[in-house]
Amino acid sequence: MSSFVTGQIIEARCTRCKDVTGHVIMACLDGMPIKVECRACGSVHKYTAPGVAPRRKVETTVRVKAGHTRTEAVDATVKAEHRLVQLVEKKAAAPRLSKAEQQNIRKAEENEQRWNQVMAVTVAAPVAYNMNGTFPLHSLVEHPTFGVGSVVELLPPDKMDVLFRDGMKRLRCVC
């Protein structure tokens, strides 16, 4: 049996990291570490030797309600655990999008539909975009960065809103 002292660095199983990492001994009793501090995460916990496997989760107790038998209670608990496992697997299989991501996808789809409708109606050839050019309402504009778009609104004296596949852009023009 080796002797340990407070402040000594040893290997121990961290309860937070769930791994064997370097620890500093915080307290000893009869030459054995009692409390240690993990050098990786900083948690202070009881000493667990590196060769010891982590503790398994204790099974929940089955509570038998009045008027029910033990087998009914066990069956209900097993079914509930099975549903929980299925729910966890389902959530892991399909990543959930945040509300902002869902909203962005919805806006992109609406914009794509609107752009396709405008392009289906307009048959004129697109005109190359120029900041000093004049563009009539509902004419097609070909921008070097955004591609082909349709003039949706003119904002005098020098702006226009153009609907591109990527979305609505406000561009400079001569109205």
Q: Give 122-162 pLDDT, tens digit per residue.
A: 778 899 999 999 999 889 999 999 999 999 999 989 999 99
pLDDT at residue 58 in the model: 62
Three-class secondary structure of residue 50 per DSSP: coil
- Strand 9-13 relative to strand 20-29, pairing: antiparallel
The answer to whether residue 156 sits within a structural domain is yes
pLDDT at residue 102 in the model: 87
Paired strand residues for 159:
155, 172
Phi, psi of 84 (to 5 degrees): -65, -45
The answer to whether residue 146 sits within a structural domain is yes
Cα gap 150→161, rounded to integer Å? 9
The answer to whether residue 38 sits within a structural domain is yes
Mean pLDDT value of segment 99-105: 88
Cα gap 118→153, rounded to integer Å? 13
- Name the residue among 172, 147, 142, 168 with its Cα closest to residue 157: 172
pLDDT at residue 54 in the model: 67
Domain total of the chain: 2
The answer to whether residue 73 sits within a structural domain is no
Mean pLDDT value of segment 82-101: 79
Q: Give the confidence band of 77 by pLDDT, cuts at 50, 70, 90.
A: confident
Where is pLDDT greater, at 96 or 174?
174
Three-class secondary structure of residue 53 per DSSP: coil
The answer to whether residue 134 sits within a structural domain is yes
Q: Which domain holds residue 159?
A: 113-172
Segment 35-53, tens digit of pLDDT: 999 999 999 999 988 887 7
Which sign does the torsion angle of CA 103, 106, 110, 111 carry? positive
